């Protein structure tokens, strides 16, 4: 299969870059626990198809399907040139003590079948574990070239500041539940803080699991007509047209993959971004609400 598109990158002032669109793996191989009845071959094939289509940033986590999702990613990427891929995986919030992080990274490497992780992300903040010990371990992994970069996920402004103050490496990204429908990180200032401080925003759940094509939203329809795009394409482009913002989406469906990939290569006008920002119905879910109790990604 020939790549469908060359996915452009966004670059931070510090030199770190990510493609504007990457592939998510939540619910592949199971959810928070492994699903032994899952069609693993279909998941591996979906990841391979995504890479063959031109996607080269793959997001996974130690916590997905008890590590089995990482194994699926490992199997899927086997035949590809590793240096052309950007693999993000995440350490679970219960494993943020120094020794647990080192062990968790080593287990992830084994499951992924690789000898380095491009971006190692703290999946969620854990208020019960001292962040300075956590960041020391993250720094150690970078110093040993086990990981290339350190990232965060679901961290609010205060938590990003604390993590950066405790780290000798630049924190390059913050993964946030951010889309047209969930603008909590915009409302509580996390988006602005990341933009102002050279941190890439990796917006997760960009199509809110297909919500935008499942319901009619008049204001979105208007934008779709103007650009001749589908609601999912407009929703994804709304994200990637914003400063320091890229996204990751998961699909097992080839038509969805083609649709989502065509969200890149064009840019929504600033006025239209603002129009949707101001008028699309928002569910006010702030980063502050992301607690350990909300770990289940639903
Ligand atoms: N850091 C975190 O805390 C966190 C939390 C959640 C997710 N994530 C990451 O972010 C990735 C993306 O989030 P997500 O998977 O939850 O949500 P998403 O990408 O917004 O939506 C994925 C779901 O929507 C469907 N879908 C995708 N494209 C579609 C389209 N064009 N039309 C209709 N349906 C479509 C997919 O079903 P089909 O397979 O049938 O296409 C899938 O069930 C995850 O996979 C994961 O890697 C991170």
Per-residue pLDDT of 240-295, as tens digits, reads 999 999 999 999 999 999 999 999 999 999 999 999 999 999 875 555 544 443 54
Chain mean pLDDT for the chain: 94
Q: How many CB atoms are closer than 10 A to CB 279? A: 12
Tokens of 151: 């990232």
Q: Check residue 3 and give its pLDDT.
A: 75
Distance 110 CA to ligand 1 centre (A): 25
Tell me which residue has tokens 């916590």.
Answer: 63
* 179-203 pLDDT tens trace: 999 999 999 999 999 999 999 999 9
**Which residues line ligand 1 at a C-beta cut-off of 6 Å?**
24-26, 59, 153-154, 175, 204-210, 213, 232, 248-253, 256, 259-260, 297
Tell which CATH architecture fits domain 9-286. Answer: Alpha-Beta Barrel (3.20)
**Pair 226, 269: CB distance under 8 Å:** no
Average pLDDT of the segment spanning 70-99: 98
At 283 the pLDDT is 77
CA of 191 from ligand 1 middle (Å) equals: 20
Contacts of 258 (CB under 8 A, 6+ apart): 4, 53
What are 124's two structure tokens?
A: 């969620």
Q: Which of 178, 210, 212, 258 to mutate to test the pocket of ligand 1 (most atoms within 8 A of CB)?
A: 210
- pLDDT score of 298: 62
SS3 call for 86: strand
Nearest Cα residue to atom 34 of ligand 1: 210
Tens digits of per-residue pLDDT, 121-148? 999 999 999 999 999 999 999 999 999 9
- For the chain, the domains span 9-286
Residue 1's pLDDT is 65
* Residue 272: per-residue pLDDT: 98
Ligand 1 geometric centre to CA of 284 (Å): 20
Q: Does the pLDDT at position 50 exceed 90?
A: yes
From the CA of 206, how far away is ligand 1's center (Å)? 7
Give the global pTM: 0.96
């Amino acid at each position: 299969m020939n790549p469908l598109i060359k996915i452009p990158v966004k670059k931070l002032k510090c030199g770190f870059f990510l493609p504007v669109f990457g592939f998510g793996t939540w619910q592949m191989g199971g959810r928070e626990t492994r699903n032994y009845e899952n069609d693993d071959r279909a998941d591996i094939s979906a990841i391979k198809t995504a890479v063959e289509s031109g996607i080269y940033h793959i997001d996974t986590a130690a916590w997905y399907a008890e590590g089995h999702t990482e194994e699926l990613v490992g199997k899927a990427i086997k035949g590809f040139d590793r240096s052309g891929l950007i693999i993000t995986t995440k350490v679970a919030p219960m494993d943020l003590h120094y020794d647990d992080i080192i062990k968790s990274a080593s287990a992830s490497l084994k499951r992924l079948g690789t000898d380095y992780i491009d971006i190692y992300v703290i999946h969620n903040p854990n208020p019960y574990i001292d962040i300075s010990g956590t960041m020391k371990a993250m720094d150690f992994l970078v110093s040993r070239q086990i990981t290339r970069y350190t990232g965060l996920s679901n961290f609010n402004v205060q938590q990003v500041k604390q993590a950066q103050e405790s780290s000798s490496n630049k924190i390059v990204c913050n993964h946030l539940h951010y889309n047209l429908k969930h603008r909590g990180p915009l409302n509580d200032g996390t988006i602005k803080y990341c933009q102002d401080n050279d941190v890439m925003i990796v917006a997760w759940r960009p199509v809110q699991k297909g919500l935008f094509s499942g319901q009619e939203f008049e204001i979105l329809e208007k934008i779709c007509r103007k650009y001749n795009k589908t609601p999912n394409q407009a929703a994804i482009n709304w994200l990637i047209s914003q400063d320091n913002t890229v996204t990751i989406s998961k699909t097992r469906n080839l038509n969805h993959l083609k649709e989502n990939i065509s969200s890149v290569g064009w840019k929504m006008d600033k006025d239209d971004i603002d129009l949707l920002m101001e008028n699309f119905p928002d569910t006010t879910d702030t980063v502050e609400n992301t607690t350990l109790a909300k770990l289940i990604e639903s």
